[in-house]
Structure 1
Amino acid sequence: MDLLVNLYSRRMAALAQRVAGVDATIRVALPPELHILQDWVRENFSEYWVSELTAALAHQPPGCLVAIVSGEVVGFACYDATARGFFGPTGVAESQRGRGIGLALLYHTLAAMKARGYAYAVIGGVGPVEFYANAVGAVPIESDGEDIYQGLLRVRPGQGQ
């Protein structure tokens, strides 16, 4: 299921206040960090997300933000990876979840998209619908079951991720 977020919603301003005190540095990823981020995403998430991260980091400016705690990567969020106007993928290390880092990444990434001229963001292939609905008022996009990921090549069992 895909969701739509209004980047001009008052919920964005409210989210900015909620994440102001998050104890992590959120910043744009730099191209020389690509190999580090690819390894981290591969270890913590999936090879598919490594591909999307790589695409997002190839943009100028890069379409990927990272969360850093004590000099270590603890999360990331991308935009314009699979399609223009799409938020994601995004993820936070299991050990860091529940500290507001995911919300901070969401806010800063959506704010970057707004600064680039987007009025709306699409969150594609969403798992945690309630998270996004509560955080930014994301609403489902009606669909007949077809989306950009339809027909995505998948690895066969026993061939890795």
Structure 2
Amino acid sequence: MIDMLVRLYELPDTQDVYRRVENQGVILRRARAYERHLVAAWAAEHFSPKWESEVKVAFSRQPVTCFLATRDQEILGFACYETTARGFYGPTGVSEAARGTGIGKALLFKSMESLKDLGYVYGMIGGVGPEEFYAKAIGAVGIPGSDPGIYRDILPG
């Protein structure tokens, strides 16, 4: 799985994406420190223990480098940045029931805007699964020779 590069100085307009999810009753917001156990457990249950570890790193940052999508006080999705490496996006995940609603795209934009606010010119998406999604959503381009990139010699489990 390759890494992808995002030109943060050319981010697309996000207002329609945010409005679409908000019209579904979804709240997009930065996670709060006292929610660490809940978000980490959710990531472990729905995705993997490795993602749980990365979520915990996001909560060690100030401000927390994790965004949530919630509805009726229920987590629908999350997106972290600056967990595996500086300037990196991920992990990110949306519940199966909420996929296809625009939540993943909205969380991606929130995270990339935050990287831009930190002064980055480029954002990295590491070990990409859905290349086509990132290319279409945000203009991400694959980085030749980046597989396995930073994700080498991974411990099992």
TM category, shorter: over 0.9
Q: Is the 8 A contact 1:3 1:141 kept in 2?
A: yes
Q: Which residue in 2 is equivalent to 1:7? A: 8
**Residue in 1 that maps onto 2:116:** 114
Number of the residue aligned with 1:18:
17
RMSD (Å) for aligned C-alpha atoms: 1.2
In structure 2, runs of 5+ residues without a counterpart are: none
Aligned pairs (5 A) from 1:36-47: 36-47=38-49
The amino acid across from 2:35 in the alignment is E
Instruction: Kindly provide the CA deviation profile for residues 89-117 of structure 1, in whole angstroms up to 9, marking residues without a partner as x.
Output: 00000011111111110111111111111
Question: For the structure 1 residues 8 and 48, does the alpha-carbon distance in structure 2 shift closer, same or farther, using more than 3 Å as the test?
Answer: same
Match of 1:125 in 2: 127
In 2: Cα distance, 1:15 partner to 1:130 partner: 19
In the alignment, the residues of structure 1 paired with residue 141 and residue 42 of structure 2 have an alpha-carbon distance, to the nearest angstrom, of 30
TM-score (norm 1): 0.91
Q: Which amino acid aligns with 1:25?
A: I
Whether the 8 Å CA contact 1:15–1:136 is kept in 2: the answer is no
Give the number of aligned pairs.
153
> CA distance change for structure 1 residues 125 and 144 in 2, over 3 Å: closer, same or farther?
closer
Instruction: Give the deviation of 1:15 after TM superposition.
Output: 3.8
- Matches for 1:1-161 after TM superposition, within 5 Å: 1-9=2-10, 12-22=11-21, 23=24, 24-143=26-145, 145-155=147-157
Distance 1:15 1:29 in 2: 20
Alpha-carbon distance in structure 2 between the residues aligned to 1:19 and 1:36: 24
1:113 maps to amino acid: L
* Structure 1 pair 70–152 and aligned structure 2 pair: CA distance change class (3 A): same
Compute the TM-score of the two structures, normalised by the length of structure 2. 0.93
Structure 1: any 5+ residue segments left out of the alignment? 156-161
- Superposed CA deviations along residues 45-91 of structure 1, whole A, max 9, x for unmatched, are 00000000001110011111111111111100000000000000000
Q: Distance in 1 between matches of 2:146 and 2:42?
A: 35
Structure 1 pair 91–142 and aligned structure 2 pair: CA distance change class (3 A): same
Taking the aligned partners of 1:43 and 1:76, their CA distance within structure 2 comes to 13
Q: Distance in 1 between matches of 2:28 and 2:130?
A: 22
Q: Is the 8 A contact 2:67 2:111 kept in 1?
A: yes
Write out the 4+ residue segments of structure 1 that deviate beyond 4 Å after TM superposition.
Answer: none
Task: State the identity as a percent.
Answer: 45
Supply the AA of the counterpart residue of 1:106.
L
